[in-house]
Each structure stands twice: as structure tokens, then as C-alpha cells.
Structure 1
Amino acid sequence: MKVVNYTFSVRSSSGLELINITGEVRRAVRESGVKSGICLVYTTHTTAAIVINEDEPGLREDVARTVRELFKPGGGWKHDLVDSNAHAHLSSIYLGPAKVVPVVDGDLLLGTWQSIFFVELDGPRSRRYHVTVMGD
């Protein structure tokens, strides 16, 4: 079994932003040479997340709105006494830091409308995410 690791950088331009990273992840899978296996996409940041969904502008706005409504900045969170970003940490917990996608025939097995997003929850910032491709 082969295991190949990649690290990518991304720069957000707003406080809450969905950045489509599907192209970079797909290139990593192809470059890895793995034909059958899995691809893990992971961020080590506690105020960011990885999600899979449709890349449609209205839906991206809906996701951002939902996150803001569920985890309101300045919502009386205890962590805001330390840093004023508790909403970003809580959002990250619920969205999650990683996704796993099957690799079939040397490519990501994504649905027709599925894309992989890096979700910035406390930007703008420079960030990193990691891709591990495993298989044969």
C-alpha cells in the first residue's frame, strides 16, 4: 500500500468563507499514482473546517448564514473572554476538520455536484490543509 502526503496553502479574504479546493485535491490524487484507496483532507486549524457540498453561490451564502445564525459572534460564549472567536471554534467542531473521499480509478469519487471546501471561520488568514492519499 502506498501513502502519499501533501500540504497546501490557502488565503481567505473574509471572516467566514467557503473556498473550493477540489482541483488541488484532485491533482494530489492523480499525482500520487494511487488507483484504488482513500483520500483524507484535513486541517489542523481549530477555527476552520473541511466540508463537501455543491459549489453554488446561493448555497455558499446559505451555509455562511446558517453558521452565523447557529454560532453568533459575540453570543455570550465563555471563550470570548480569552479570544473573541468562540463562534469560529464552535462552528469548526460541528462542521469538522476532515473528510474522507474514496479514490476509484485514480480519481476522487465525488457526486456530480459535490465539491470539497476549506471553510474559513475566523479570517481573513493564511491557512494550510493536508491531503493524505492511501491505497494501491
Structure 2
Amino acid sequence: MRLSLETTERLAVTDVTARVADAVPDDVERGVCTVFVPHTTAGVTINEAEAGLITDVEDALARLVPDADYAHDAVDDNAAAHLRGSLLGPSASVPVSEGSLDLGTWQSVLFVECDGPRTRSLDVRVAPTVGRDDA
């Protein structure tokens, strides 16, 4: 399933857990849900969706990869966004149990915009698993 997301800031973290959870079919007893961001200037991660931590993630990314004079900026002035997206990665996988995301107590699926504002896509795919459950 492809989800659409509107971003309003250059660098921003958005909790997409509920939208991803809604995309998981109820009849999947066990499986893996993969969230993939088909953009080179955005990423996805699993972390706590607490407001202070979200601000900390945004600030840390800005400090780790400051807006500077990068070679790619001559093409479209967004090299920092590409570098931040590379650090985050384009996907995250979450186990599925009984039709629900099997996240830890404080875990959320977070979309990270690095080159906004934009309209973005998130691909959510669920692969059922079969066999013994050794967990």
C-alpha cells in the first residue's frame, strides 16, 4: 500500500505509526511489515515519538550534516538532505503479530523529511510468515 504524506518543514520528523498500522491486514497472524521511503532525501526510523526527542533528532541531524557548500549543491542545492537521508536509511521493518505491529512500548515508526516541504510517499508492505514460532 502506498501512503501519501504532506510535509511542511525543511527538516521534520512525523510519527506515521497509526497510518502504517492501519495498512496491516487483520488476518496476518505473523509476518513482517516493511516501510520503505522511495525518496533519496527522506528516511524512516523506529524510535520514541516524544516531542522533545523528535526535536532532538531534528537538531542532531542538522548538527551532524550542516547546510554547507557541498559539490551536489551545484545541481539542486540539497546535498545536506541527501546525506541526512543516507544516514537514516530508506526503510524499517517491524514484526507483525495477530494483525498488529509488534512494536515495543515506546517504539513508533517515524518518517523523517530532510528536503521539505514536499508531498512524499511511503510504501507499506506486509509479508506473512509461516512455520514454527520459536519466540
TM-score, normalization by structure 1: 0.91
Greater percentage in strand? 1
CA distance in 1, matches of 2:73, 2:29: 46
Query: Are 2:66 and 1:72 equivalent residues in the alignment?
Result: yes
The residue that corresponds to 2:14 in the other structure is: 19
The residue that corresponds to 2:3 in the other structure is: 8
The residue that corresponds to 1:57 in the other structure is: 51
Query: Are 2:115 and 1:131 equivalent residues in the alignment?
Result: no
Task: Please state whether the residue corresponding to 1:29 is helix, strand or coil.
Answer: coil
Percent of aligned positions with the same letter in both sequences? 43
The residue that corresponds to 1:113 in the other structure is: 106
Residues 15-54 of structure 1 mapped to structure 2, 5 A cutoff: 15-31=10-26, 33-54=27-48
1:106 deviation in Å?
1.6
Task: Please state whether the residue corresponding to 1:13 is helix, strand or coil.
Answer: coil
The residue that corresponds to 1:97 in the other structure is: 90
**Large movers: runs of 4+ above 6 Å:** none
Give aligned pairs, total.
Answer: 129
TM-score, normalization by structure 2: 0.92
Q: CA RMSD of the aligned region, Å? A: 1.0
The residue that corresponds to 1:81 in the other structure is: 74
Task: Please state whether the residue corresponding to 2:76 is helix, strand or coil.
Answer: coil
CA distance in 2, matches of 1:101, 1:64: 23
The residue that corresponds to 1:3 in the other structure is: none
CA distance in 2, matches of 1:35, 1:25: 17
Show CA shifts across 1:31-56 (max 9, x none): 5x211010000011100101110011
